[in-house]
Amino acid sequence: MRELVEEFLIYYMTERNIEKAAALLTEDVISLGTGEQEIGIGKDAAAALYLKEVKQSPNPIFFHFLEYKEQILSIDARMCYAKVGINTRTTEGEKLAFEGRLTSSSCRQDGIWKLSSFHMSMAAASQEEEEFLPLQSLYGKAEPATTKNAIELMKDMLPGGIIGGYMEPGFPLYTINDEMLALMGFDSYEEMIYFSDGFVNNLIYPEDRERVDQYVGEVLKNSDEYDITYRQLKKDGSFFWVHDKGRRIVLEDGREAIISVLVDVSDIEQAASAAEEHLDAIMRMNPTAMSTFRINLTQDSLSHAVSKYGNLQALEAKGTVSGYVEDALKFIPYEEEREKFARTFAVENLLKAYQDGHMQVAMNHHYIPDENQQFILQTIVSMIRNAATKEIEGVVYTLDITQKIYNEKINDLLINDSDLGIIVVNIKKGTFFSPSFTASSEFKPTLKEQDYAEGVGQIVDHFIVQEEKEHCREGMKLDYIVTQLKKEGKYSINSIWENDGKRRDMRFTCYYFDELQEQFVGIYEDVTDAVQKDHEYGQKLREALEEAKRANRAKTDFLSRMSHDIRTPLNGVIGMTEIALKENQDPRLKFDLETIKSSGKFLLSLINDILDVSRIESGKMELHPEPYAVAQFEQMIEAIICPMMEEKNITFRTDD
């Protein structure tokens, strides 16, 4: 609405273009001047009133807002009040500067906003008859005779209920219009007087009377005007919400009174109340939150900080969501998280998220307020649209999820059937805490940080057997573990523990827990049973291997003996064949003897090969390079194979 009022004032006061100014008015607009004839009801009458003024004083009038307040009456109606600084010159060139007060209402017709009333007055005790600027305040300190007439006119013309009371105890009723009677459900003026005993205070909801009296009394000490919202009684005992715009006036008999315009804002107040209850419920649902803030994203404002941590509560200092985000980044140690936080909670991105249907935006991040504290927080922004103001409001709150994250990560590493001790090590600080430790009765779970080197020393001194102490001290040094984690992502070392006379096999395994925060988790696991099973399995494996070796030796011995036993008669066969070849010259018989000789030698070579296998298995095989006659080998193969091929009518041929 502010833009609409400014545009009207530019056309009307500065450019003095009444045609353009009138185009921004509704057909039934109400505009009043100071003089008796300066009443403009309807666009044409108002335009004529303005035109008359321009003819009398054509010089441009320059303005700027000193104060501006706006009230949403409904989806299609609004009202505003403003203090306006005004500068102009008279026709003689004299420079004038003064302050004006403006009230106006607007409504939307066919999707277009226009002014439905416009009233402006000067901040002066009185005005001359022909001073224009429409509607010197109807509540202004005008002459007593005109005040009464103005009030009667206002009662009939202005929208909303009109009620007036004398500035005396209980505010005795001075005047009321029919619309106000109708709003309260009274059928007549007399019925209302009977109900209220003639006092305005008796028409205010009992629980609001003291608040209204105190507020109005305080404001009127320094001003003649006030505005306040409260509950007004109805005839049936129920109530409705009203916005009261009131002003102190002097009546014709010299008595002071207050005259008020009351607008029914029940729908707006109920919507605002519903929004307030919703946001309060969000805050109540998170009693363990490290901090909570109320925010208005439309106005980029942040307030009502609640936190037991001073550095979190101090984030309210700038009073804006943007300022909160800017200051919060100082406590987030990692660049990647800072960039994401700034992007996620930027006002424009939160508004876009709401428009996209996301009523809640959340992010997990690290938070390090000082060197001695570190947290993992979840920052959550929960948003709603306030049906009364149409603005996006919400709550931003932070939850400490450090232990939750630790527990989740630890649970991922736990082995249900193992005896485990868990420590979380802070590399940078050289400390650890133990959320779980069951490997020894002397080490109990504790979230209190302890010195890592000292804790390792206690474990080595108290539990690890003498022959492994030095090895474990070196293997569990913090620098060494970090080096191994950077190389492999995992590190483990085995050791033997002795406690109460019993020895146990233990394994200490490390994984990165939070690389950004330079932490790793170390798990002490009792692997005695696993080591025992490995030992038993190894023993069985060694026994099986020895058995296999014995069997292999028996096989080798058998082959060796068998080969020697076969070679003796086979050498006899080969020798006798050679004798027969020397004594017999029959070609046919000679060929057969040659075949027997070749086959015998081939069989002998096979036996020798078997013996070579035995030598290989025993590691006694020796290789000797010798000339080899390929032609003789081919003849031997032919002599063996050809007879078998002929039996099956298969041709066998060897080529040189």
CA dist 31 → 51, 114, 545, 596 (Å):
13, 14, 113, 142
What's the 3-state SS for 31-56?
EECCCCCCEEECHHHHHHHHHHHHHH
Confidence of residue 463 (pLDDT cuts 50, 70, 90): confident
Which pLDDT belongs to residue 573? 82
Does 577 have pLDDT greater than 50?
yes
pLDDT band at residue 363 using 50, 70 and 90 as cut-offs:
very high
CB 521 within 8 A of CB 413: yes
Q: DSSP secondary-structure letter at 204? A: B
Residue in the structure block whose two tokens are 């008595």 = 255
pLDDT at 271: 57
Exposed/middle/buried for 223, CB within 10 Å: 0-12, 13-18, 19+? exposed
Kindly report, residue by residue over 430-453, the tens digit of the pLDDT.
Answer: 888 776 555 444 455 555 778 899
Name the DSSP letter for residue 427.
T
Q: Are 229 and 216 in contact (CB under 8 A)?
A: no
3-state DSSP call for residue 244? strand
Q: For residue 513, which of 523, 503, 526 has the smallest C-alpha distance?
A: 523
pLDDT in tens, 487-538: 888 898 988 888 777 888 888 888 887 655 578 888 887 777 777 787 787 7
Model pLDDT, residue 272: 60
- Residue 109's nearest CA partner among 192, 41, 25 is 25
Q: What is the pLDDT of residues 296-355, one digit of tens each?
A: 999 999 988 888 777 787 888 889 999 999 999 999 988 899 999 999 999 999 999 988
pLDDT given for residue 431 in this prediction: 87
The mean pLDDT value for 533-545 works out to: 82
Evaluate if residue 584 carries a pLDDT over 50: yes
Q: Does residue 130 carry a pLDDT above 60?
A: no
**β-sheet bridge partners, residue 71:** 79
pLDDT at 23: 92
CA atoms within 13 A on the CB side of 542: 6
Nearest to 327 by CA among 288, 369, 356: 369
Contact 361, 341 (CB under 8 A): no
Render pLDDT for 405-414 as a digit per residue (tens, 0 to 9).
766 766 665 5
Report pLDDT for 414: 54
Residues in Cβ contact with 309 at an 8 Å cutoff, skipping those fewer than 6 apart = 290, 291, 369
Averaged pLDDT for residues 635-644? 77
- pLDDT above 50 (res 417): no
pLDDT category at 140 given cuts 50, 70, 90 is: very low
**Quick check: pTM over 0.85?**
no
**The pLDDT of residue 244:** 86
365-376: per-residue pLDDT in tens? 988 877 666 788
Q: What is the pLDDT of residues 60-102, one digit of tens each?
A: 888 888 888 888 877 788 888 888 888 777 666 666 667 778 8
Give the pLDDT of residue 618: 65
How far is it, in rounded angstroms, from Cα 187 to Cα 195? 12
pLDDT at 610 over 90: no
Given a cut of 60, whether residue 124 has pLDDT beyond it is: no
pLDDT for the residue numbered 285: 56
Instruction: Compute and round to an integer the Cα radius of gyration of the chain.
Output: 52
| Percent of the chain surpassing pLDDT 70 | 80
Distance CA 50, CA 29 (A): 13
Mean pLDDT of 354-365: 88
Residues paired with 81 in a beta bridge: 69, 103
Mean pLDDT over each residue of the chain, to the nearest integer: 79
Neighbours of 98 (CB within 10 A): 12
Q: Which residue has the higher pLDDT, 561 or 201?
A: 201
pLDDT in tens, 615-633: 676 666 677 788 877 777 7
- The helix/strand/coil state of 82 is strand
